[in-house]
Amino acid sequence: MEVSFERVVDNIYALAIWDTEWKSYNNCYFIIQDNGVTLVDSGKKIHSQYIRKALTELGKTTEDVHLFLATHGHEDHIDGSRIFKNARKFIHSNDNALIDSLELTQFSNDLDDFEVIKEFDYDLVGYHTPGSVIFYHRPTKAVFTGDFLCFFGDPLSKDGLVSIGDDLRNEWIKYLGDGGVSTEHLEYFLSGLRKIIRFDSSVMCTGHGGVLVGNIKEFISELIEVGVQYSKRGG
């Protein structure tokens, strides 16, 4: 199985695991802090071995993960979190129905808990699932977009996992301009983009595939402009 593990910026590391079943890179992110590790998303349960290996490379273990944040409730983002027995785990309540009842007891829906908001801002975008959330890590200016805005099923940028990713950006702009987001959902999607652009992001950590560094607000602004123009054309 193809696996990429790279430093993104400062104390953030990205792990991208090629999922042969779904034919996409599944991403999760490690934020190294003085009091332990925060993990954003976790891949599937079968990906746990790669998470353990990445932690070992960082000089950490599963016991060091004290906080787990799920961008949404799909299995490729939460099932790997089962191995973190010491972590407090958070998900938006709108996605509770996506989690089996036994697993749900491990999660808190109180995203306003101090352990979350002392370093993160968040907002509900809801486009991908009812509880899809974006997280903004204030110390590093990294925004975690989950599957609201990602590169599911796409190859990595020609410049690697972590890059400016102009090729990926151009593909997304073309996709949106060609009607990739249905007119039925377009306004909802644009609303989510406007929430992202409020953050002073310099890094975009997506749920699948490439991680973008630099000019994030410009990229989001261009997506909004393209989406608005498509909407004016009537789809």
183 and 174 Cβ atoms separated by less than 8 Å = no
165 and 189 Cβ atoms separated by less than 8 Å = no
pLDDT at position 235: 56
For residue 19, being part of any structural domain is answered with yes
Report the CATH number at residue 12. 3.60.15.10
Q: Which residues contact 115 (CB under 8 A, 6 or more apart)?
A: 67, 88
For residue 75, being part of any structural domain is answered with yes
For residue 103, being part of any structural domain is answered with no
Q: How many domains does the chain have?
A: 1
For residue 185, being part of any structural domain is answered with yes
For residue 26, being part of any structural domain is answered with yes
Mean pLDDT by 10 residues, the chain (235 residues): 92 96 96 95 95 97 97 96 95 94 88 96 94 97 98 95 97 95 92 97 98 97 95 75
212 and 168 Cβ atoms separated by less than 8 Å = yes
Task: Looking at 27-150, list the stretches that DSSP marks H as alpha helix, in order from N- to C-terminal side.
Answer: 48-57, 75-78, 101-104, 114-117
Q: Tell me the three state secondary structure of residue 214.
A: coil
Torsions phi, psi of 77, nearest 5?
-120, -15
Torsions phi, psi of 232, nearest 5?
-65, -30
**How does DSSP classify residue 71?**
S
pLDDT at position 181: 93
Q: Tell me the three state secondary structure of residue 213.
A: strand
pLDDT at position 1: 64
pLDDT at position 35: 87
pLDDT at position 136: 98
Residues 136, 116: Cα–Cα separation, whole Å: 11
For residue 104, being part of any structural domain is answered with no
Residue 160: give the domain boundaries. 3-96+118-232
pLDDT at position 102: 66
**How does DSSP classify residue 32?**
E
For residue 113, being part of any structural domain is answered with no
pLDDT at position 104: 86
Q: Which residue has the tokens 């950006």?
A: 169
For residue 133, being part of any structural domain is answered with yes
Q: Tokens for 131, please give them.
A: 């509880």
